[in-house]
Amino acid sequence: MNKIDWKRKWTSRKFLSMLVVLVTAVTGFFTSDDPTVQIFCLISAVVDIVVYIGGESYIDGAAQYAQAEKDLQYCKRTIDEVARQVNELRAAKGV
């Protein structure tokens, strides 16, 4: 399992923009007396967090997929190499 680069994650543009929207929405929620604005701010905060989590999940999934593809290619090369060696041994023994 890969280690998480927390410094990079906490200083990413995605995280920082999510944080700005979240702070703005929470500030609007607590400073407004209009219930419509409060509901809008609350929905904005929740959607912001969900979109951020979805984006991070997509990126993590794509990275895992890429690693799985590399691993699969390595396994295929290893199997091909073993099959070649087995064939060479069979040919040497005349089997």
Q: State the pLDDT at residue 20.
A: 92
The pLDDT, as a whole number, for residue 69 is: 92
Expressed as residue numbers, the domain containing 52 is 6-93
Residue 76 lies in a domain: yes
Instruction: Evaluate whether residue 48 is within a structural domain.
Output: yes
Domain tally, the chain: 1
Kindly report, residue by residue over 13-52, the tens digit of the pLDDT.
Answer: 888 889 999 999 999 999 999 999 999 999 999 999 999 9
Residue 38 burial (C-beta neighbours within 10 Å; 0-12, 13-18, 19+): middle
pLDDT, tens digit, for every residue of 33-43?
A: 999 999 999 99
Q: How many helices (H) and strands (E) does the chain have?
A: 3, 0
- The model's pTM is 0.63
The candidate with the shortest Cα–Cα distance to 25, out of 58, 57, 52, is: 52
Q: What is the pLDDT of residue 9?
A: 77
1 within domain boundaries: no
Q: What are phi and psi of 2, to 5 degrees?
A: -80, 145
| Residue 44 included in any domain | yes
